């Protein structure tokens, strides 16, 4: 299930939506016991980092197409919303096919985030010499500030704006990316792994009581984002209810599934090392106009500039979606994620990621402020702490 579907299911865990998500598979029970879990030490003094990124959302969906800049072929590969890492290999495979139509011996890539590195790697595999031009390498890019979950349709397009046939294109990208991510399972550093994930709904508060929203948010008209998870149901683990007597949480309803996560520092290091070992070159550069790219004198360029494409290519369709993550000190024995009261938790190796979705799908939409909000992070950690009262003093 995508992050969108997970949050929706969490909010109505006792109702029909989760009943569908937890529908019984022939030969298997829809109820599943849960193992003992190491409590998360959800304390604000354990916050070691707060990072903000602007996701590059295009209502029509990611841009993967070509244009000419003089004699130069530009292949665009940007605008993936909250699904950049998840769709990276699939989207980049489409971009590289366009770039290699004329069998160029050399390809330039603009940008060194998730899309830039996967495009560069695939162009190398197709036989081209590749140079990446970017201001920063991956650890300092927006991609390094992502949550790190497999969420291939997380705010990737609007239902009434998506290009005709985008659902089919999306499915191809998602399946290709999923298959390639699997190749990184079990590698040193654990760049990609599967973990259990829980969706926990607390008992309903008494009438008139505070609803317990984890942070204030500005009311915005809701948009209808696409939801394609049914297209890849065969590669997506289902949700199963956890019986109350077997639940590790005291809550009204608990469900359990599995999700693929990306340990971004390890994944990024692996991609960078592979790129350089294969002969790739990196050149530090910052572009403010297409004419500067034209001056490179390359025949083929793949543009993976993310939200930067709004200014660089005057793409006014790009909408920023602000996202903030806080990381807690890593706990090696915590190998599960969860969603509780609009708080998403991801057990990455570089720290337990805590992210608030108090504003639902409209959280951070069209917000350009990249200033870390300590109060937001502390509210999220404080909400998470409700599930682990025994760990508050540990």
What domains are there in the chain, each with its CATH number? 11-56+198-203+213-255+320-391 (no CATH), 58-169+264-313 (3.40.50)
Task: State pLDDT tens for residues 167-178.
Answer: 999 999 999 999
Return the higher-pLDDT residue of 212 and 279: 279
Whether the per-residue pLDDT at 24 is higher than 60: the answer is no
Going by C-alpha positions, the residue among 79, 136, 63 that lies closest to residue 282 is: 136
Give pLDDT, residue 230.
95
**121, 275 Cβ separation under 8 angstroms:** yes
Of 61-75, 206-220, 316-330, the range with the lowest mean pLDDT is 206-220
At 21 the pLDDT is 44
Express each pLDDT in 342-364 by its tens digit: 999 999 999 999 999 988 889 99
pLDDT score of 7 more than 70: no
Over residues 134-147, the mean pLDDT reads 95
Give the angle subtended at the CA of 340 by the CAs of 338 and 345, to the nearest 5°: 40
Residue 22 above 60 pLDDT? no
Contacts of 40 (CB under 8 A, 6+ apart): 328, 331, 334, 345, 352, 384, 387, 388, 391
C-alpha to C-alpha distance for 364 and 53, rounded to whole angstroms: 10
- Of the given ranges (58-67, 120-129, 241-250), which has the lowest mean pLDDT? 241-250
Kindly indicate the confidence band of residue 32, based on its pLDDT and cuts at 50, 70 and 90.
low
Q: Examine the pLDDT at 48 and tell me if it is beyond 70.
A: yes
Looking at per-residue pLDDT, the higher value among 76 and 35 belongs to 76
């Amino acid at each position: 299930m995508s992050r969108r579907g997970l949050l929706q299911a969490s909010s109505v865990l006792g109702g029909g939506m989760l009943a569908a998500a937890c529908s019984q598979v022939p030969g298997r029970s829809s109820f599943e016991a849960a193992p003992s879990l190491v409590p998360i030490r959800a304390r604000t003094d354990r916050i070691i980092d707060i990072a903000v990124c602007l996701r590059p959302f295009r209502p029509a969906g990611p841009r993967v197409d070509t244009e000419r800049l003089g004699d130069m072929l530009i292949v665009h590969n940007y605008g993936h919303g909250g699904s950049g890492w998840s769709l990276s290999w699939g989207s980049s495979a489409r971009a590289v096919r366009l770039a290699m139509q004329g069998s160029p011996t050399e390809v330039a890539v603009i940008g060194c985030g998730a899309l830039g590195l996967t495009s560069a790697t695939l162009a190398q595999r197709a036989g081209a010499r590749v140079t990446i031009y970017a201001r920063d390498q991956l650890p300092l890019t927006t991609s390094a500030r992502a949550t790190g979950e497999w969420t291939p349709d997380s705010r990737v397009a609007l239902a009434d704006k998506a290009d005709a046939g985008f659902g089919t294109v999306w499915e191809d990208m998602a399946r290709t990316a999923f298959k390639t991510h699997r190749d990184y399972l079990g590698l040193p550093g654990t760049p990609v792994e599967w973990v259990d994930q829980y969706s926990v709904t607390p008992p309903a508060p008494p009438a008139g009581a505070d609803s317990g929203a984890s942070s204030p948010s500005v009311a915005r008209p809701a948009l209808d984002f696409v939801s394609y998870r049914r297209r890849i149901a065969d590669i997506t683990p289902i949700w199963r209810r956890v019986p109350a007597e077997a639940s590790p949480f005291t809550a009204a309803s608990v469900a359990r599934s599995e999700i693929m996560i990306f340990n971004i520092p390890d994944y990024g290091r692996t991609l960078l090392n592979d790129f350089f070992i294969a002969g790739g070159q990196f050149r530090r550069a910052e572009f403010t106009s297409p004419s500067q790219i034209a001056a490179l004198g390359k025949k083929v360029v793949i543009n993976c500039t993310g939200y930067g494409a709004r200014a660089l290519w005057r793409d006014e369709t790009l909408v920023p979606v602000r996202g903030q993550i806080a990381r807690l000190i890593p706990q090696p024995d915590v190998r599960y994620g969860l969603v509780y009261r609009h708080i998403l938790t991801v057990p990455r190796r570089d720290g337990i990621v805590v992210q608030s979705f108090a504003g639902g799908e409209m959280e951070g939409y069209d917000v350009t402020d990249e200033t870390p909000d300590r109060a937001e992070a502390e509210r999220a950690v404080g909400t998470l702490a409700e599930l682990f009262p025994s760990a508050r003093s540990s």
